[in-house]
A and B are shown apart, each in its own frame.
Chain A
Amino acid sequence: MDLLLNFLPAIIIIVVMFGITMIAALYSTYGERKVAAYLQDRHGPNRAGPGGLLQPLADGVKMFLKEEIIPVASNKFLFILGPSIAMTCALMTGVVLPWGDKFTLFGRTFNLQATDLNIGVLYVFAVVSVSVYGIMIGGWASNNKWSLMGAIRASSQIISYELSMGLSIIALLMVTGTLSFREIVLQQHGGILHWNFIAQPLGFLIFLICAFAECNRAPFDLAECETELVGGYHTEYSSMKLGFFLFAEYINMFISSAVMSALFFGGFNFPGMDFLAEKGLDANWITLIGTAGYFLKIIFFIFFFMWVRWTIPRFRYDQLMNLGWKSLIPIALLNLAITAAVMVIRHSNNFGF
Chain B
Amino acid sequence: MQIGQIILVPGNNSILLCDFHHSITKLYLPSMNNTQLDFIPIIIQFFLAAGFVGGTMFITHFLGPKLKTRKKLRAFESGIESIGNARQPFAIKYFLTAILFVLFDVEVIFLYPYAVNFLDLGINGLITMFLFIALLLGGFIYVIKSGALDWE
Contacts and interface: CB of A to CB of B under 8 A. Distances in A.
Interface in A1-46: 6-7, 10-11, 14-15, 18
A190 to B, nearest CB: 20
Interface stretch (A208-216, A283-291, A321-329): A321-329
A188 interface: no
A115 B41 contact: yes
Contacts of A142: 75, 86
Interface string B34-74: 10011111101110111011101101110111111000111
B52 A350 contact: no
Contacts, number: 206
Interface residues of A, number: 85
Interface string A306-350: 000000000001100110011001000100100010011001001
A173 B112 contact: yes
Given A14-B44, A343-B119, A144 B77 contact: yes
Interface in B126-144: 126, 133, 137, 140, 144
Contacts of A166: 105, 108-109, 111
Interface in A140-178: 140, 142-149, 152-153, 155-156, 159-160, 162-163, 166-167, 170-171, 173-174, 177-178
Chain B interface size, under 10 / 10 to 19 / 20 to 34 / 35 or more: 35 or more
B24 to A, nearest CB: 13
Give the secondary structure class of B's interface. Answer: helix
B9 interface: no
A179 interface: yes
B56 to A, nearest CB: 6
B105 A163 contact: yes
A333 B53 CA distance: 39
A17 to B, nearest CB: 9
Contact of A162 (B45, B78, B105): B105
B133 A351 contact: no
Nearest to A349: B122
A59 interface: no
28 contacts: A6-B37, A11-B44, A65-B63, A67-B65, A69-B72, A70-B73, A71-B73, A71-B75, A73-B75, A115-B42, A119-B34, A146-B77, A152-B90, A152-B94, A156-B101, A159-B105, A163-B104, A166-B108, A167-B108, A170-B108, A173-B118, A177-B116, A230-B78, A244-B53, A326-B144, A326-B149, A343-B119, A347-B119
Interface of A: 6-7, 10-11, 14-15, 18, 63-74, 80, 84, 87-88, 91-92, 94-96, 114-119, 122-123, 140, 142-149, 152-153, 155-156, 159-160, 162-163, 166-167, 170-171, 173-174, 177-179, 230, 235-236, 239-241, 244, 317-318, 321-322, 325-326, 329, 333, 336, 340, 343-344, 347, 350-352
